[in-house]
């Protein structure tokens, strides 16, 4: 079986979902930071929209996190991360689309970007007006996620699914912002679920720091190989 290689930027929540899925499956994998830049010709040849993650598995290359997670769940069937029951599977799909369309777009990609990614990686000062403008949508998203979760342990019931693995990295990021208190205070079920996700070995193994260390080691190994080959 070919190895799994994930091209990523350390800290990226979508990339973390792919890594956490590989961890849940117990599959060996490597990470490769996109050193050439997301808009480099090299990366655009893997991902024409210049984003991460990109999965390589033998001669198969795949971008879009939902596609990657579903592929991994098919080629690595144990433990199953998609419910067998059609209605629970539909809820999983729904929660995954809420992540991509409503939580990421206009909420996490504004609030978590302005508070965490911009300041940490680009030295930017948070745009308070942009954050304030994102809050009404953020409230709707949190209310809806709380309603979908209800009193279940995971988003579709008692078992972990791809929906939990996609949502948790985004919400883990949101938790690190001052806006979290206002958004999550009336949703103790979201707080309990996130704590449960953060305690899983798959999440402990894929923190920004741990992925950054793996990425640094991969870059160093690549440089050594290049130097040795002349
Ligand atoms: N629809 C894509 C979204 C991926 C995405 O937006 N990734 C972020 C990092 S978490 C990214 O690459 N951002 C770079 C940019 O916006 O230029 C997926 O599901 O993989």
User: Which of 94, 92, 91, 187 is CA-nearest to residue 138?
Assistant: 187
Do residues 92 and 164 both lie within one domain?
yes
Q: How far is the centre of ligand 1, averaged over its atoms, from the C-alpha of 59 (Å)?
A: 23
Tokens of 176: 């690190």
Q: For 114, which DSSP code?
A: I
Pocket test for ligand 1, best of 51, 61, 206 (most atoms within 8 A of CB): 51
pLDDT tens by residue, 125-156: 999 999 999 999 999 999 999 999 999 999 99
Do residues 190 and 209 both lie within one domain?
no
pLDDT tens by residue, 81-114: 999 999 999 999 999 999 999 999 999 999 999 9
Do residues 155 and 65 both lie within one domain?
no
pLDDT tens by residue, 68-82: 999 999 999 999 999
CA–CA dist 127, 114 (Å, integer): 6
Pocket test for ligand 1, best of 17, 52, 118 (most atoms within 8 A of CB): 52
Longest dimension (CA), the chain: 60
Which residue minimizes the CA distance to atom 6 of ligand 1? Answer: 51
* Model pTM score: 0.97
**Domain that residue 143 falls in:** 86-199
* E-assigned strand segments in 34-105: 54-57, 60-63
Q: What is the mean pLDDT of the chain?
A: 97
Q: What is 1-19 written as a DSSP string?
A: -PPEEEEE-TT-HHHHHHH
Q: How far is the centre of ligand 1, averaged over its atoms, from the C-alpha of 10 (Å)?
A: 12
CATH number at residue 70: 3.40.30.10
Q: Is the dihedral of CA 65, 66, 69, 75 positive or negative?
A: negative
Do residues 96 and 155 both lie within one domain?
yes
**Ligand 1: residues whose CB is within 6 Å?**
12-14, 38, 50-52, 64-66
Do residues 107 and 145 both lie within one domain?
yes
Do residues 57 and 124 both lie within one domain?
no
CA–CA dist 123, 171 (Å, integer): 23
Which residue minimizes the CA distance to atom 15 of ligand 1? Answer: 51
Q: How far is the centre of ligand 1, averaged over its atoms, from the C-alpha of 53 (Å)?
A: 7
Do residues 35 and 112 both lie within one domain?
no
Report which ligand 1 atom has the smallest distance to the Cα of 68: 20
Q: Domains in the chain: how many in total?
A: 2
Q: Is the dihedral of CA 154, 158, 163, 164 positive or negative?
A: positive
CATH number at residue 109: 1.20.1050.10
- What is the pLDDT, as a whole number, of residue 100? 98
pLDDT tens by residue, 12-66: 999 999 999 999 999 999 999 998 899 999 999 999 999 999 999 999 999 999 9
């Amino acid at each position: 079986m070919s190895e799994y290689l994930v091209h990523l930027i350390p800290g990226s929540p979508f990339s973390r979902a792919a890594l956490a899925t590989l961890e849940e499956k117990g599959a060996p994998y490597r990470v490769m930071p996109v050193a050439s830049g997301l808009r480099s010709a090299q990366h655009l040849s893997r991902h024409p929209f210049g984003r991460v993650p990109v999965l390589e598995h033998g001669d198969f290359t795949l971008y879009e996190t939902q596609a990657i997670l579903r592929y991994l769940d098919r080629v690595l069937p144990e433990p199953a991360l998609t419910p067998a029951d059609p209605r629970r599977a539909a809820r999983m799909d729904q929660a995954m689309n809420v992540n991509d369309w409503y939580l990421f777009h206009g909420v996490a990609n504004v609030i978590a970007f302005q508070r965490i990614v911009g300041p940490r990686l680009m030295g930017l000062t948070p745009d308070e007006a942009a954050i304030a403008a994102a809050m009404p949508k953020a409230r709707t998203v949190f209310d809806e996620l709380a309603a979908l979760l209800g009193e279940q342990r995971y988003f579709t019931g008692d078992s972990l699914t791809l929906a939990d693995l996609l949502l948790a990295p985004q919400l883990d990021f949101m938790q690190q912002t001052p806006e979290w208190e206002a958004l999550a205070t009336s949703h103790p079920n979201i707080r309990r679920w996130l704590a449960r996700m953060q305690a899983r070995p798959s999440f402990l193994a894929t923190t920004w720091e741990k992925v950054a260390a793996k990425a640094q080691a991969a870059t160093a190994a690549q440089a050594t190989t290049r130097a040795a080959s002349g």
